[in-house]
Amino acid sequence: MSEYCSVRVWQLKAGASAAELEMLAATGVAEMHRWIPGIEQLSLVRLARRSQASAMRYLMITTFTNHEAYTGWRRIEEEGPDYWERYASVFMHWEELARLVEEYSGDSLPLMGLERQEQPGIIQ
93: region left, alpha or beta (phi > 0 left; psi from -120 to 50 alpha):
alpha
pTM: 0.84
Distance from C-alpha of 35 to C-alpha of 110, rounded to nearest angstrom: 25
Nearest 10 degrees: Cα torsion 96, 100, 105, 111: -90
Contact 2, 68 (CB under 8 A): no
Which pLDDT does position 120 carry in this prediction? 54
- Can you tell me the distance from the alpha carbon of 21 to that of 3, in angstroms, rounded to the nearest whole number? 27
Can you tell me the distance from the alpha carbon of 78 to that of 88, in angstroms, rounded to the nearest whole number? 10
pLDDT for residue 113 is more than 80: no
pLDDT tens digit string along 26-49?
Answer: 999 999 999 899 999 999 999 998
Residues 45-61: what's their mean pLDDT?
A: 91
The phi and psi torsions of 99 (rounded to 5 degrees) equal -120, 145
CA proximity to 4, closest of 57, 94, 69: 69
